[in-house]
Amino acid sequence: MKAELVNPFITATKNVLETMAFIKVTPGKPYLKKDSTATGDVSSIVGLTGSPNGSFSISFEKKVILKIVSNMFGEEITELSDDVAEAAGEIANMVSGQARQELEVDGYLLDGSIPSVVTGENHQLRHITEGPKIAVPFTEDESGGNFTLEICYES
Protein backbone atom coordinates (compact mmCIF):
# COMPACT_ATOMS: atom_id res chain seq x y z
CA MET A 1 0.00 0.00 0.00
CA LYS A 2 1.29 3.42 -0.92
CA ALA A 3 2.38 5.66 1.95
CA GLU A 4 0.58 8.57 0.25
CA LEU A 5 -2.72 6.78 0.96
CA VAL A 6 -1.90 6.23 4.66
CA ASN A 7 0.00 9.34 5.75
CA PRO A 8 -2.96 11.76 5.43
CA PHE A 9 -4.87 9.71 8.02
CA ILE A 10 -1.92 9.80 10.43
CA THR A 11 -1.58 13.56 10.03
CA ALA A 12 -5.34 14.14 10.34
CA THR A 13 -5.55 12.00 13.49
CA LYS A 14 -2.81 14.03 15.17
CA ASN A 15 -4.35 17.34 14.07
CA VAL A 16 -7.90 16.50 15.15
CA LEU A 17 -6.87 15.26 18.59
CA GLU A 18 -4.55 18.20 19.21
CA THR A 19 -7.19 20.72 18.10
CA MET A 20 -10.38 19.20 19.52
CA ALA A 21 -9.12 17.37 22.63
CA PHE A 22 -5.93 19.30 23.42
CA ILE A 23 -3.81 16.15 23.61
CA LYS A 24 -0.55 15.15 21.98
CA VAL A 25 -0.27 11.74 20.38
CA THR A 26 2.70 9.89 18.94
CA PRO A 27 2.30 7.45 16.05
CA GLY A 28 4.24 4.20 16.16
CA LYS A 29 5.54 2.02 13.38
CA PRO A 30 2.84 0.87 10.91
CA TYR A 31 2.33 -2.87 10.53
CA LEU A 32 0.23 -5.30 8.53
CA LYS A 33 -2.77 -6.36 10.67
CA LYS A 34 -3.94 -9.89 9.98
CA ASP A 35 -7.01 -10.27 12.21
CA SER A 36 -10.29 -8.41 12.73
CA THR A 37 -10.17 -8.03 16.51
CA ALA A 38 -10.15 -4.39 17.61
CA THR A 39 -7.23 -3.25 19.70
CA GLY A 40 -9.43 -1.01 21.87
CA ASP A 41 -12.77 -0.77 23.63
CA VAL A 42 -14.45 1.85 21.42
CA SER A 43 -13.99 1.85 17.64
CA SER A 44 -15.26 4.01 14.80
CA ILE A 45 -15.16 2.78 11.22
CA VAL A 46 -15.72 4.85 8.08
CA GLY A 47 -16.22 3.48 4.58
CA LEU A 48 -14.45 5.25 1.71
CA THR A 49 -15.75 5.17 -1.85
CA GLY A 50 -13.95 6.42 -4.91
CA SER A 51 -10.63 5.53 -6.34
CA PRO A 52 -9.62 3.43 -4.48
CA ASN A 53 -12.48 2.10 -2.33
CA GLY A 54 -11.57 1.33 1.25
CA SER A 55 -12.22 2.05 4.89
CA PHE A 56 -10.44 3.22 7.99
CA SER A 57 -11.06 2.77 11.68
CA ILE A 58 -9.84 4.21 14.95
CA SER A 59 -9.95 1.90 17.97
CA PHE A 60 -9.43 3.52 21.40
CA GLU A 61 -8.56 1.97 24.74
CA LYS A 62 -11.11 3.01 27.37
CA LYS A 63 -8.76 5.32 29.28
CA VAL A 64 -7.75 7.18 26.12
CA ILE A 65 -11.25 7.79 24.77
CA LEU A 66 -12.39 8.91 28.24
CA LYS A 67 -9.52 11.42 28.38
CA ILE A 68 -10.26 12.66 24.86
CA VAL A 69 -13.98 13.07 25.51
CA SER A 70 -13.37 14.66 28.94
CA ASN A 71 -11.16 17.26 27.28
CA MET A 72 -13.67 17.83 24.48
CA PHE A 73 -16.60 18.24 26.89
CA GLY A 74 -14.66 20.23 29.50
CA GLU A 75 -15.71 17.88 32.31
CA GLU A 76 -14.44 14.58 33.65
CA ILE A 77 -16.07 11.58 32.00
CA THR A 78 -15.39 8.32 33.85
CA GLU A 79 -17.60 5.74 32.13
CA LEU A 80 -18.29 4.66 28.58
CA SER A 81 -21.67 5.92 27.41
CA ASP A 82 -23.65 6.79 24.30
CA ASP A 83 -22.12 10.28 24.45
CA VAL A 84 -18.62 8.79 24.42
CA ALA A 85 -19.50 6.54 21.47
CA GLU A 86 -21.00 9.51 19.62
CA ALA A 87 -17.84 11.55 20.24
CA ALA A 88 -15.69 8.69 18.91
CA GLY A 89 -17.78 8.72 15.74
CA GLU A 90 -17.38 12.47 15.40
CA ILE A 91 -13.60 12.17 15.80
CA ALA A 92 -13.53 9.64 12.96
CA ASN A 93 -15.71 11.95 10.87
CA MET A 94 -13.29 14.86 11.37
CA VAL A 95 -10.27 12.67 10.62
CA SER A 96 -12.01 11.44 7.48
CA GLY A 97 -12.71 14.95 6.26
CA GLN A 98 -9.18 16.22 6.82
CA ALA A 99 -7.51 13.14 5.32
CA ARG A 100 -9.76 13.18 2.25
CA GLN A 101 -8.95 16.87 1.66
CA GLU A 102 -5.24 16.06 1.67
CA LEU A 103 -5.78 13.06 -0.60
CA GLU A 104 -7.74 15.23 -3.02
CA VAL A 105 -4.68 17.47 -3.46
CA ASP A 106 -2.82 14.32 -4.57
CA GLY A 107 -5.55 13.44 -7.08
CA TYR A 108 -7.57 10.91 -5.04
CA LEU A 109 -11.29 11.67 -4.86
CA LEU A 110 -12.94 9.81 -1.99
CA ASP A 111 -16.29 10.11 -0.26
CA GLY A 112 -16.68 9.03 3.36
CA SER A 113 -19.66 7.26 4.90
CA ILE A 114 -21.25 8.13 8.21
CA PRO A 115 -19.09 6.53 10.94
CA SER A 116 -20.27 3.36 12.62
CA VAL A 117 -19.25 2.91 16.25
CA VAL A 118 -18.69 -0.43 17.99
CA THR A 119 -17.95 -0.83 21.70
CA GLY A 120 -16.92 -3.64 24.03
CA GLU A 121 -13.90 -5.77 24.73
CA ASN A 122 -12.51 -7.82 21.83
CA HIS A 123 -15.11 -6.60 19.34
CA GLN A 124 -14.59 -7.24 15.64
CA LEU A 125 -13.93 -4.63 12.95
CA ARG A 126 -15.02 -5.55 9.46
CA HIS A 127 -13.47 -3.40 6.76
CA ILE A 128 -15.50 -3.13 3.55
CA THR A 129 -12.69 -4.38 1.33
CA GLU A 130 -10.55 -7.48 1.32
CA GLY A 131 -7.29 -5.60 0.82
CA PRO A 132 -4.41 -5.52 3.31
CA LYS A 133 -5.01 -3.69 6.59
CA ILE A 134 -2.28 -1.30 7.65
CA ALA A 135 -2.41 -0.55 11.38
CA VAL A 136 -0.74 2.45 12.97
CA PRO A 137 -0.47 2.33 16.76
CA PHE A 138 -0.61 5.64 18.63
CA THR A 139 0.28 6.53 22.21
CA GLU A 140 -1.39 9.39 24.03
CA ASP A 141 1.61 11.19 25.48
CA GLU A 142 0.27 12.17 28.94
CA SER A 143 -1.46 8.95 30.04
CA GLY A 144 0.54 6.50 27.96
CA GLY A 145 -2.74 5.01 26.73
CA ASN A 146 -3.02 3.57 23.25
CA PHE A 147 -5.24 3.58 20.22
CA THR A 148 -4.88 2.18 16.73
CA LEU A 149 -5.69 3.59 13.32
CA GLU A 150 -6.38 0.98 10.61
CA ILE A 151 -6.52 1.73 6.89
CA CYS A 152 -7.66 -0.76 4.27
CA TYR A 153 -7.97 -0.20 0.51
CA GLU A 154 -8.97 -2.54 -2.30
CA SER A 155 -5.99 -4.30 -3.76
pLDDT tens-digit series, residues 110-147: 999 999 999 999 898 988 788 899 999 999 988 889 99
> CA 16 to CA 136: how far, in whole Å?
16
Range of the domain at 12: 3-153
What residues form DSSP beta bridges with 26?
Answer: 139
Confidence tier at 155 by pLDDT (50, 70, 90): confident
Report the predicted TM-score, pTM, of the whole model to 2 decimal places.
Answer: 0.93
DSSP state at residue 54: E
User: Rounded to whole angstroms, how far apart are CA atoms 8 and 2?
Assistant: 11
Task: Give me the helix-helix angle, 82-105 and 62-73, nearest 10°.
Answer: 90
What CATH number is given to the structural domain containing 110? 3.40.1550.10
- pLDDT category of residue 32 using cuts at 50, 70 and 90: very high
Q: What is the mean pLDDT of residues 90-115?
A: 95
Residue 1 pLDDT greater than 80, yes or no: no
Name beta bridge partners: 42.
60, 119
Residues of the chain above pLDDT 70, percent: 99
Contact 9, 70 (CB under 8 A): no
The domain tally of the chain equals 1
